[in-house]
Amino acid sequence: MFSTVEEAIEDLKTGKLIIVTDDEDRENEGDLVGLADLADADMVNFMATHGRGLICMPIDAERAARLDLAPMVGRTTDPLGTAFTVSVDHQSSTTGISAFERAATINALMDDRSTADEFIRPGHLFPLVAKPGGVLVRPGHTEAAVDLARLAGHRPGSVICEIMEEDGTMARLPSLRNTAEKHGLKMLTIRQLIEYRRMHDPLVTREAEAALPTEFGSFRAIGYTERLTGREHIALVMGDIEAAEPVPVRIHSECMTGDVFGSRRCDCGPQLHEALRQISHAGRGILLYMRQEGRGIGLMNKLKAYSLQEAGLDTVEANERLGFPDDLRNYAPAAGILHDLGIDSIILMTNNPRKIAALESAGIRIAGRAPIETGRCPENERYMKTKAEKLGHLLHI
């Protein structure tokens, strides 16, 4: 029923459309996908006629920024986080809605010579911004479409349209299969693309490995470089991680103030040491030390957030005052490291349900959760309460 990723890419290269489906527990939909580089009025008209959904244009963040394609809303309430920008028409358009004019808008958006002032806002073409890292970070049609364009050797941009039935309901399998057979279209799942990228286009590269004796026992230290950002991460591995039982894993985000200097403003340092103790006691396990300081905002911004906290804000309010989300961390590279280590099922040492959800979406099975509550003190009481009440951490407050 489904083609291979390679077969789908070859069809895209010739200007053909393909159908990409996602999981039943997500949108459970199929989208028509074509390369934006090769878009024409026939492609747009086919999508409007046989797809019937909203015609959108997934692009990368760099192109969106260069063309000043700002988010459609300041704060999205879409549960799937689809990153719509303001809609546009090219300045040559009349109404902008015809297949010919929408194709012209697509072509102009993909033209590296185009400038932001060449587009009318709002319009009839809906750009979407894919997350860096693609389907390995977010398993959505937006990311899949941009990944496929890049894998096909084209610039990162595609055209997509949801497939609806004639009665207006969303098309599901096997109806999508019938559509594919009727029009001679290859069909692919996002899960296939994720597996393909893990094998051929991973987020991290293994760089070095060495023994690391510590006060908690002897580990193998394995160094990784994140391909998109150049960030360097480390996996500390103890014992037999290839056994059938799920592996105890702690994913610890860097905290220089807590881990190195013993800051009592947070519980990071005590959590790091407690995780190493628990792994040592079990005789097996993995600690991933991820270089994403300050919940992803960096060391200098974390210090600025500390200053705002001293003025009365809590940790979430301070991040938002600085223009950041409450938590900017990305766990896809951590999942990539676990996949490289051959791990797909873990006992996760965490109090953070967002971490669980992020790893599961990246293909890691969470067989169990081991709480890691430690490091409470008067100086971090408000911080701990904020983590529980605003960030959803599972703490006994």
Positions annotated as catalytic residues are 327, 329
Place of tokens 């894919």: 130
Place of tokens 């797809």: 51
How many whole angstroms separate alpha carbon 274 and alpha carbon 372? 7
Alpha carbon of residue 70 to chain centroid: 19
**Residue 268: phi, psi to the nearest 5?**
-65, -50
How many whole angstroms separate alpha carbon 204 and alpha carbon 222? 12
Dihedral over Cα of 171, 175, 179, 180: its sign:
positive
Closest CA to 43 of 107, 126, 90: 107
The number of residues in the chain equals 397
* Angle made by CA atoms 45, 49, 54, in degrees to the nearest 5: 85
DSSP 79-97: TT---BB--EEETT-SSS-
Do residues 150 and 156 make contact, with C-beta atoms less than 8 angstroms apart? Answer: yes
